[in-house]
């Protein structure tokens, strides 16, 4: 990764790490890189810019728009819209570039900048590297009629909702659903899509004021949703994060339905309609073993990738798979969207519930999650985690002990000097005991 771009664009504390100057400079550099690559050849370049409701998004989006227009790019400003909604507008309008100002599930003081290429896919790493390399270089500025023009697209949200509804295999009539919008980008389109799909919708977390995004609500804080589901006697609850690229659910009792269960439900739904190519679901190595066992029993292969939605998406695009995601509720349905889409995921999950006429708890029970224990072991040489013979022997012993009913995973942190020890077992006490034992071996033999 470069100095600014991480695994999911540029992200950090707004006005300290992510400044107006950086937003403007990245936008200008992006215009130059794409222009020199021939992306703009033969037409006036066009970009779509949108954001989540964070206060800092106001000045950051203004800086992005200014940078692009100053570089001769016409800009359509869609305002507040979920990240997948912006990706959809890029795709639907044939725009050359999309820019999203959001820090997703991060706290409100953070913000981020994410670029989409033509077609709504994330820019490749090499293009991001080229953009960083050309930051603040001298350039010939367009003048007169060659500067970019800026328009507001007030209908983008409605077009996005229409797209979402066009994908539904079954209406949601008869379902009462509580939706928590995290005071985020889906505050309007999320409830609208669910209502128009036929659900009786109770809305919470849908009063964004620029300062309350993700503040005690949404997919990272499920307690308000759980309370509201019980209070209103709802059939289900749906929680989005700040930019609505993911969702989690709770059933009528308030029990959490996580991303692994959601993926399992969607995989079986697609398979039942003959719409799951290769009978393959793509998930990361952190997905619960319960998902793997459930899919194996149903004849669905689970292809596992490294942790990160980018790796899931790469595997899907390379092999033509249509469903993949993460335990966090970041689910990609490539037949309908180019990136994770919380509202789309929620609609299809609830459509399966309505189609089967069963409670969400019963529908989600196709995936029986095994107890999962994660222990972080700090101040160790993570580079030797996969090569140390003592650690390897301990892992082999633990794996043999657990057999087919459990799993061990050692994963070095990507950013810190620590190793994550993850153990799944039929009983939580066994998972905890094995994890603690392995963590002690890692600490003893890899200590710095």
d(CA 168, CA 203): 21
For residues 124 and 273, membership in a common domain is answered with no
Q: Catalytic pick from 27, 56, 76, 104?
A: 104
- Of 138, 154, 170, the residue that ends a domain is 154
- Of 364, 388, 423, the residue that ends a domain is 364
For residues 126 and 205, membership in a common domain is answered with no
Provide the pLDDT for residue 357: 98
Residue corresponding to tokens 């633990």: 398
For residues 137 and 19, membership in a common domain is answered with yes
Residue 49 maps to a domain: yes
Provide the pLDDT for residue 404: 85
Closest CA to 434 of 390, 361, 387, 373: 373
Residue 5 maps to a domain: no
Residue corresponding to tokens 């399992």: 264
Residue 268 maps to a domain: yes
For residues 315 and 376, membership in a common domain is answered with no
For residues 173 and 305, membership in a common domain is answered with yes
For residues 322 and 381, membership in a common domain is answered with no
- Of 321, 344, 364, the residue that ends a domain is 364
Q: Which two tokens stand for residue 203?
A: 């809305």
Closest CA to 398 of 364, 375, 369, 365: 375
Provide the pLDDT for residue 3: 81
d(CA 262, CA 366): 10
Instruction: Output the tens digit of pLDDT for each of the chain's 448 residues.
Output: 568 888 778 999 999 999 999 999 999 999 999 999 999 988 999 999 999 999 999 999 999 999 999 999 999 999 999 999 999 999 999 999 999 999 999 999 999 999 999 999 999 889 999 999 999 999 999 999 999 999 999 999 999 999 999 999 999 999 999 999 999 999 999 999 999 999 999 999 999 999 999 999 999 999 999 999 999 999 999 999 999 999 999 999 999 999 999 999 999 999 999 999 999 999 999 999 999 999 999 999 999 999 888 899 999 999 999 999 999 999 999 999 999 999 999 999 999 999 999 999 999 999 999 999 999 999 999 989 889 999 999 999 999 999 988 999 998 887 678 899 999 999 999 999 999 999 999 999 999 8
CATH number at residue 350: 3.40.120.10
For residues 247 and 317, membership in a common domain is answered with yes
Provide the pLDDT for residue 2: 64
Q: Per residue in 7-43, is it b (16+ CB within 10 Å) or e — as a string?
A: ebbbbbebeeebbbebbbbbbbbbbbbbbeeebbeee
For residues 20 and 144, membership in a common domain is answered with yes
Closest CA to 244 of 317, 183, 309: 183
For residues 339 and 393, membership in a common domain is answered with no
> Got the DSSP string for 198-221?
T-EEEEES----SS-TTSS-STT-
Whether 289 contacts 295, CB under 8 Å? no
Provide the pLDDT for residue 433: 95
Give the number of domains in the chain.
Answer: 3
Residue 228 maps to a domain: yes
Was 74 annotated as part of a binding site?
no
Provide the pLDDT for residue 239: 98
Coil, helix or strand at residue 110 = strand
Range of the domain at 32: 10-154
Residue 2 maps to a domain: no
Catalytic annotation on 104?
yes
Was 245 annotated as part of a binding site?
yes
d(CA 73, CA 96): 9
Residue 1 maps to a domain: no
Was 241 annotated as part of a binding site?
yes
For residues 150 and 165, membership in a common domain is answered with no
The torsion angle over the Cα atoms of residues 106, 107, 108 and 110, rounded to 10 degrees, is -60
pTM, 2 dp: 0.93
For residues 242 and 288, membership in a common domain is answered with yes
For residues 195 and 340, membership in a common domain is answered with yes
């Amino acid at each position: 990764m470069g100095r600014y771009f991480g695994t999911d664009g540029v992200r950090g504390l707004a006005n300290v790490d992510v400044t107006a100057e950086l937003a403007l400079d990245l936008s200008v550099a992006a215009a130059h890189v794409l222009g020199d690559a021939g992306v703009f050849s033969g037409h006036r370049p066009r970009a779509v810019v949108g954001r989540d409701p964070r206060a800092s998004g106001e000045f950051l989006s203004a800086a992005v728009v200014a940078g692009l227009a100053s570089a001769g790019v016409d800009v359509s400003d869609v305002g507040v819209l979920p990240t997948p909604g912006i990706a959809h507008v890029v795709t639907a309008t044939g725009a050359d570039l999309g820019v999203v100002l959001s820090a997703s599930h991060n706290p409100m003081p953070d913000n981020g900048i994410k670029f989409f290429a033509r077609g709504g896919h994330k820019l490749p790493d090499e293009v991001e590297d080229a953009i960083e390399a050309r930051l603040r270089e001298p350039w010939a500025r367009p003048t007169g009629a060659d500067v970019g023009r800026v328009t507001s697209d007030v209908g983008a949200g409605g077009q996005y909702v229409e797209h979402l509804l066009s994908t539904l295999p079954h209406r949601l009539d008869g379902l009462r659903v509580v939706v928590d919008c995290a005071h985020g980008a889906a505050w309007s389109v999320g409830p609208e899509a669910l209502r128009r799909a036929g659900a009786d919708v109770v809305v919470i977390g849908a009063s964004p004021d620029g300062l309350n995004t993700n503040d005690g609500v949404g997919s990272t804080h499920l307690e308000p949703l759980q309370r509201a589901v019980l209070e209103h006697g709802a059939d289900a609850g749906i929680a989005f994060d700040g930019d609505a690229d993911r969702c989690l659910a709770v059933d009528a009792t308030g029990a959490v339905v996580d991303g692994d269960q959601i993926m399992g439900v969607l995989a079986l739904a697609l398979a039942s309609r003959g719409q799951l190519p290769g009978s393959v679901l793509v998930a990361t190595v952190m997905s619960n073993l319960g998902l793997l066992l459930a899919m194996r029993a149903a004849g669905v292969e689970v292809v596992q990738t490294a942790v990160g939605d980018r790796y899931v998406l790469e595997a899907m695009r390379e092999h033509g798979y249509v469903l993949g995601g993460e335990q966090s509720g970041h689910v990609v349905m490539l037949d309908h969207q180019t990136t994770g889409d919380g509202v789309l995921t929620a609609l299809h999950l609830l459509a399966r519930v309505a189609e089967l006429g069963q409670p969400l708890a019963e529908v989600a029970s196709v995936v029986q999650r095994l107890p999962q224990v994660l222990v972080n072991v700090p101040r160790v040489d993570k580079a030797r985690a996969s090569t140390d013979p003592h650690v390897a022997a301990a892992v082999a012993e633990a794996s043999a002990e657990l057999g087919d009913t459990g799993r061990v995973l050692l994963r070095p942190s990507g950013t810190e000097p620590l190793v994550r020890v993850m153990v799944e077992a039929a009983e939580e006490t066994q998972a905890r005991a094995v994890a603690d034992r392995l963590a002690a071996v890692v600490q003893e033999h890899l200590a710095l």
